[in-house]
Amino acid sequence: MLENLIILSLSCFSIYYLGNLVYRSFAIKGNAAGCSKGCGSCKVINFDKSV
């Protein structure tokens, strides 16, 4: 019985961990700056300020 609980908890944790990895890979980052990497190091033209 104890072995089943350990296996169940490890399975739930691994499903949560993999789901979190997938979610974070597709989620929009806060400082994304418009590029696909999402690191925020790229400069994006702000047309409101340049006009």
The segment with the largest mean pLDDT, out of 4-8, 27-31, 39-43, is 4-8
pTM of the model: 0.53
Look up residue 11 and give its amino acid.
Answer: S
Transcribe 2-45 into DSSP letters: HHHHHHHHHHHHHHHHHHHHHHHHHSPPTT-TTSSS--S-S---
Looking at residue 25, its pLDDT comes to 83
pLDDT tens-digit series, residues 11-39: 999 999 999 999 988 876 655 555 566 56
Alpha carbon distance 7, 11 (integer Å): 6
33 half-sphere exposure, CB direction, 13 A CA radius: 11
Residue 43's φ and ψ, nearest 5 degrees, are -95, 135
